[in-house]
Amino acid sequence: VDKSMFRMWILYEGCPFKTYQVTIGAPAKETPIAKFVMGGENPNPAWWPPPDVKISGKAPVPYGDPQNPLGKWWISLEHDIHHGIGIHGTNDPGSIGSKASNGCVRMLNEEVVEVAALAFKGMIVTVVE
């Protein structure tokens, strides 16, 4: 993931295979520059909002609820320091290509479905400035 270009590349044997435009963390919630390991994948995910995000009702927010920003898939990114970061779809396609997430990498729903099909547990995901 290249934050400066709002792009994510899928590499095959070190060569770019496919690219996607993405949303990254808002200025106060920057997407961390780090090397992550892909964890699990979850279709139609519920959302547990971070403590600083106020919602009406109780958490978790179910898939399909307008307050749930996760879209069709959640792909967890594991790291020793940075927690709660993932790659996911969105219920706000107009935000793609901007700094608008809570730190995650946000994609169009139809594209995150492709990524979920290509990705695997243990895959390295690198975020650069």
Active-site positions read 88, 104
Q: 3-class SS at 57?
A: coil
Take residue 17 and report the two structure tokens written for it: 């295979």
Q: What is the DSSP letter of 32?
A: P
User: What is the C-alpha end-to-end distance of the chain, expressed in Å?
Assistant: 8
> CB under 8 Å to 76, separation ≥6 — which residues?
38, 39, 40, 41, 42, 85, 86
Distance CA 116, CA 124 (A): 14
